[in-house]
Chains A and B, each alone.
Chain A
Amino acid sequence: MSLIDLQSWLLQEGIREDLDKIIRLTVRNELDNLAPDISAPSTEPIDWPKLILAGSILARSEKRTDQDAALRIATAAVTLKDDQALTDAGIVLMGKLSNFRAITLATERSLVATNLHGRLGVSLHLEAQRRDIDHAILVQSSGAWLPVNDFQQRFWANAVGASWLSASAPTASGKTFLVLQWLIDQVIAGESRVVVYLAPTRALVSEIETSLKRLLGNSELIDVTSLPFPVNYRTARAGGARIIYIFTQERLHLLANVLDDEFSVDLLIVDEAHKIGDNQRGVILQDAVERITRANPELKAVFISPATENPEELLTDAPIGVQTVAVNSDSSTVLQNLLVAAQLPRKSKLWELTLRQQDSELPIGTLQLASKPVGLKKRLAFIAAAVGERGGTLVYTNGAGEAEEVADLISQLLPELESIDPELSQLAELARKGVHQDFRLAPLVELGVAFHYGNMPSLLRLEIERLFRLGKIRFLVCTSTLIEGVNLSCRTIVVRGPRKGKGHPMEPHDFWNLAGRAGRWGDEFQGNIICIDPEDTQAWPEGIPNRARHHIKRESDAVLELGDSMENYLSKRGKSDLSNMKDKDKFEQVGAYLLTTFMRLGSISAASLAKRHDAASIAKLDQTLGSLADKIEIDVDLASRHPGVNAIGLQRLLEAFRTYSGDVENLLPANVSSNDSYDRFITIMGRINEHLFPAFTPQGRIRLYALIVVKWLKGYSLAKIIRDSIDWHQEVGRSFKLPELIRDTMELVEQIARFRAPKYLSAYMNVLHFYLHEIGRKELIEDDLDIGTQLEFGVSSTTLLSLMELGISRMSAVTLYENIARDDLSRKECIEWIAERVNQFQAMNIPAIIIREVRENLSLFD
């Protein structure tokens, strides 16, 4: 019998019965409010020596199921029995799996007696020592040895040199932690002076920025910023502090536009790199990677993605001659229990829990609910509150409104706490002062429950995540923002009929991206995923998805594979009225990318993407692109500055400027302090809709969009924008629901003021500047901060900009700015202002979390 045959026999027959017994016992330990176990106890006791031996054989396999079984045996040996020899054996088995964090956890929980090495025989002791040495890496910058697992070790070994690397591993493999360590090492001990870390969501950007700053402490050697300002770049290039920029793909282009020919990056890291396949923003990410590579073909690039089956796909566009290497891992570090919950017939308070495994099911027990769950929201809330009572419980909902309601229901089932933790009180204070006195989040967090969605201000969201990690928030109700790239793991996830975005059932890889968050490596031995109503086809149209990994495919490739659709779209785009164009969401961004690529190269057959598609369709596209490009006078540099904005649109806008009969000064946005500003934005947005792209639709909402843009640029706080909206509703006698009004305002800020407006207004300004040069009116061009940057950060005054340059969030910057009289303070003057008054901040009614953020960023400690 070969080793593989032996491993397979062990799982199927050899230890199956005992393995099921320990699975059942370990899983039951994880769940709260189970009815007492009434199943007939097995007469045969568990054969532990056999299990341990089987575990060590399975640990040598590379198959995920074998590794999982070995980890299950190790975990059971450590946690189920109070038997020193057995626990020691479990620890040795964890060592064989190089799961050092599980060993540390067992030690921290005093599950293993001290001096383990003394109890092991000589050969086991030597073997363990050798493993420790084998599975440690030297961090050059600090001289420290870091224990690592197999994936981490392979990453570290392959990341040396100039080659491009693409690494993929499931959530909770210690990817981000290791990459950040490696990054710091590269910048301190290596040659990289300018690093760009691309993270495809603003949520992930702020998270990575915070983590890096914490890891670096007060290093004067490295600056970390998420603001696209050239000052750090120039300092780094001049030999001063090196710089790590953390950007979304859109923000990267803002920096590249300012620096123009100067722009060159030494090291690029792309996190959540599988998002190169996302609809609409995937191609912008691809464009960003290509732009950075064009600027410096010697660049070193590292891509990271969670559980993908083809990470090497990301390396196909590496410059010729650059070596590439993919590091892929599918092994888990924490046991993940996938459980389904189905109601017992006619007993709505009793729910049968069953564990789903590769090809079998295992009954685990019956969950008892405190009340009858009438309606779907209650079902989700009550099951979550019962099964995950001990905390670390994440509940997935299909929208921000639902998240609030489910959180509210859960909070009603929890016992009132004797006293409120001070950090929870501070979070509640921030929610009340930073959003609204009656924002639902505030009373909930006081009970240890929170909700979480993408449009929330980052300071608030990061604090929620931090307190959830600490266990102070016990239940977190989230939305798809979490799978869009927030590194947050939990002990238990509860989910029913998950959708991604608005209404689309989740694909298996997305579901497993979510499910993968169950299990905090180093904090827990197991993670649980509870799927409610598994047989309900409305909730789960395709059933509960089997474990799947993401298949990476660029958005551009996916669109090109649709046959002639892209070409048809481009032909129509050149002629027809934009408002009638169907499918513009699908094709506009990629169409823009193709046209710009054509304008740069003279043919897309010369582009890297051509090798992935058949020559005939590329030639056909080339012809269409050629006839479009013939009519475009906008130069390729201008078009490249605005990825996702079609050069045809830019040309149309230029033509509209040329036929404009009014005073050209009226084409420029009015300063936000001017009375004309709001109306001018209305007209400009209308012009953009008509000529460039219908970005601000429906037309009837333009006034609202313009209003938000003006308030945002004026540096108003979210709380003030919400208050103004309430006042307006009351003045004109319109009814409103507060939670909805708050959510809508947050959405307008994030989606319009910070996403659409910067993208299209900065393109508008660029074409206008082109036109002003053309007619000899360049004196009208002001050398101000680019409108895109102003909008993304919601700043128009020097003081507010200086505050944000210090690294504090907009929420904090705006709160301070409300107390600062002058609008022209430099960074240094802002620091002086803060240092003089920081001890009075509390008396000035500034929320404690804001005070803490300011102190941390300015190193002003009590």
Chain B
Amino acid sequence: MPAKPIHLGPMYFKKRGDAVEYLKKMLHRYDVGDRVNSDDAVILQAALEHHPDSAAKIGCGITDFSVRSADYGTKCFWVNRPDGTTEKFSITGSIHGK
């Protein structure tokens, strides 16, 4: 199966796996409770827009992103919305659509 390239904002990845790798590295630069900086947020927003459930995940809009704890002591990205609600999303889910 040929590699599927992907654009995330200003970033271009030849393979989706590279995008996942990039986002995982990004995630690990943050501690839980951190607000994601604006440069990273542009890429994350693009990733989330790529998510198969993007409409539901984005909901009423995106204020910014955070890194918070997820199940079993792991961490993941969360989208913060203007109405104060928040939801986590997975990197692989956004990129590979699973």
Q: Give chain A's interface residues, CB within 8 Å of chain B.
A: 661-663, 665-666, 670, 675-684, 686, 703
In contact, B33 and A683 (Cβ under 8 angstroms) = yes
CB distance from A149 to the nearest CB of B (A): 60
In contact, B30 and A662 (Cβ under 8 angstroms) = yes
- Contacting A675 at CB < 8 Å: which of B29, B31, B37, B68? B68
In contact, A679 and B68 (Cβ under 8 angstroms) = yes
Nearest to B75 among chain A residues (CB) is A679
Chain B residues near A677 (CB-CB < 8 A):
33
In contact, B33 and A676 (Cβ under 8 angstroms) = yes
- Contacting B69 at CB < 8 Å: which of A662, A663, A665, A703? A703
- Contacting B35 at CB < 8 Å: which of A666, A678, A681? A666
CB of B94 closer than 8 Å to a CB of A: no
- Contacting B31 at CB < 8 Å: which of A665, A683, A703? A683
CB distance from A105 to the nearest CB of B (A): 62
Nearest to B84 among chain A residues (CB) is A675
Per-residue contact bits, chain B 18-32, to A (CB 8 Å; 1 contact, 0 not) = 000000000001111
In contact, B80 and A675 (Cβ under 8 angstroms) = yes
In contact, B33 and A682 (Cβ under 8 angstroms) = yes
11 A–B pairs (Cβ distance < 8 Å), ordered by A: A663-B34, A663-B37, A666-B33, A666-B35, A675-B86, A676-B35, A676-B66, A679-B66, A682-B33, A683-B31, A683-B32
In contact, B69 and A675 (Cβ under 8 angstroms) = no
CB distance from A657 to the nearest CB of B (A): 13
Cα A684 to Cα B33 with chains together (Å): 9
In contact, B32 and A666 (Cβ under 8 angstroms) = no
Cα A662 to Cα B86 with chains together (Å): 22
Cα A596 to Cα B67 with chains together (Å): 38
Cα A684 to Cα B29 with chains together (Å): 16
CB of B77 closer than 8 Å to a CB of A: no
Chain B residues near A676 (CB-CB < 8 A):
33-35, 66, 68
In contact, B32 and A682 (Cβ under 8 angstroms) = yes
Chain A residues near B66 (CB-CB < 8 A):
675-676, 679
Nearest to B40 among chain A residues (CB) is A663
CB distance from A665 to the nearest CB of B (A): 7
Further pairs besides A666-B34, A676-B35, A683-B33: 16, Cβ < 8 Å: A662-B34, A663-B37, A666-B31, A666-B35, A675-B68, A675-B78, A675-B80, A675-B84, A676-B33, A676-B68, A678-B33, A678-B68, A679-B66, A682-B32, A682-B33, A703-B69
In contact, B35 and A679 (Cβ under 8 angstroms) = no
In contact, A670 and B30 (Cβ under 8 angstroms) = no
CB distance from B62 to the nearest CB of A (A): 14
Chain A residues near B35 (CB-CB < 8 A):
663, 665-666, 676
Chain B residues near A683 (CB-CB < 8 A):
31-34
Cα A681 to Cα B34 with chains together (Å): 10
Most buried by A among B33, B34, B35: B33
Most buried by B among A662, A666, A677, A703: A666
Nearest to A683 among chain B residues (CB) is B31
In contact, A679 and B33 (Cβ under 8 angstroms) = yes
In contact, B69 and A679 (Cβ under 8 angstroms) = yes
CB distance from B53 to the nearest CB of A (A): 20
Nearest to B38 among chain A residues (CB) is A663
Chain A residues near B68 (CB-CB < 8 A):
675-676, 678-679
Cα A681 to Cα B78 with chains together (Å): 17
Which 3 residue pairs are nearest across A and B when measured between Cβ atoms?
A: A680-B33, A679-B33, A679-B32
Cα A246 to Cα B77 with chains together (Å): 47
Cα A682 to Cα B66 with chains together (Å): 14
Chain B residues near A682 (CB-CB < 8 A):
32-33, 69
Cα A670 to Cα B67 with chains together (Å): 13
In contact, B29 and A662 (Cβ under 8 angstroms) = yes
Cα A681 to Cα B33 with chains together (Å): 7
Chain A residues near B80 (CB-CB < 8 A):
675
CB distance from A706 to the nearest CB of B (A): 9
Nearest to A665 among chain B residues (CB) is B35
Cα A679 to Cα B35 with chains together (Å): 11
CB distance from A495 to the nearest CB of B (A): 45
Nearest to B85 among chain A residues (CB) is A675
Most buried by A among B32, B69, B80: B32
Cα A670 to Cα B80 with chains together (Å): 14
Cα A665 to Cα B29 with chains together (Å): 15
Chain B residues near A686 (CB-CB < 8 A):
31
CB distance from B72 to the nearest CB of A (A): 12
Cα A682 to Cα B32 with chains together (Å): 7
Chain B residues near A679 (CB-CB < 8 A):
32-33, 66-69
Nearest to A679 among chain B residues (CB) is B33
Q: Which of B1-54 contact A (CB under 8 A)?
A: 29-35, 37
Cα A666 to Cα B67 with chains together (Å): 11
Chain A residues near B31 (CB-CB < 8 A):
662, 666, 683, 686
